[in-house]
Amino acid sequence: MTNRTLPTDTLDQTLAVLAEDFDLLGDWEQRIEYVIELGKGLAPLDEADRIEANKVPGCAAQVWLATTQDEGRLWFAADSDSALSKGNIALLLKLYSGRTAAEIVAFDARAALDRLGLPSALTRQRANGLNSMVGRIREAALAVQ
């Protein structure tokens, strides 16, 4: 698994920083470009994690999400064959990786994504894929609570 740096901010604080970054970007093209840049920063996913069980259903592209649990925290690693999907999952990992299951379950992901304006900037299929990614993260958290 990749980056194991514990988050120092709460989920709400991390979201606030992301929202500030998004607000500084003018139009949707710049915001989408920012998301794609986030994806370029993802650590490579181990080949062993590119398995059917880690595929996120409902995405326009192939998306893999691997989960491990360590000391009460969930850690996520992911990849996609699409630059935008890879960016979307990178954004979610920025929010969720290293959090406790309780933190993840208590966080209102839909409101967070709306605050960033992401669903409205994406096609319906991509927005559904983003929701599927969030759903998979929440399922992982619910499974260990």
Residues annotated as catalytic are 59
The residue count for the chain: 145
Helix, strand, or coil (residue 130): helix
Please give the DSSP secondary-structure letter assigned to residue 59.
Answer: -
What six digits make up the tokens of 56? Answer: 């996120």
Residues 6+ apart with CB under 8 A from 95: 11, 14, 15, 18, 107, 112
Please give the DSSP secondary-structure letter assigned to residue 48.
Answer: G
